[in-house]
Amino acid sequence: MSDYQDHTRQSLDGTHHDPAEELGIDEMRWSPAPDSNAVTDEAMSAAADTAHALLDRAADAYLSLLNTVLGDGRHHLVANATTEHGDFTEDQELIVTGDAVILDESSSMRVCATIAAAMVGCATGAVVVRTCGPDGSEFVRGWTVRSLWLRPITADDIREAYTVDPETGAPLAPEPGVEFRQAERVPRPDQDRTGASTSRTAPRDNRPPNRRN
Mean pLDDT lowest for which of 14-18, 66-70, 104-108, 167-171? Answer: 14-18
SS3 81: strand
Distances (CA, A) of 209 to 46, 47, 206, 213: 16, 16, 9, 9
How many CB atoms lie under 10 A from the CB of residue 85?
14
Q: What is the pLDDT of residues 77-131, one digit of tens each?
A: 999 999 998 999 999 999 999 989 999 999 999 999 999 999 998 899 999 999 9
Residue 204: DSSP 8-state = P
Taking the C-alpha atoms of residue 200 and residue 132, their distance in angstroms, rounded to an integer, is 20
Taking the C-alpha atoms of residue 56 and residue 155, their distance in angstroms, rounded to an integer, is 29
Pairing of strands 179-180, 138-146: parallel
Taking the C-alpha atoms of residue 61 and residue 78, their distance in angstroms, rounded to an integer, is 14
Q: What is the pLDDT of residues 30-78, one digit of tens each?
A: 444 455 556 676 655 665 666 688 999 999 999 999 999 999 999 999 9
Q: CB-side exposure of 41: number of CA atoms within 13 Å?
A: 0
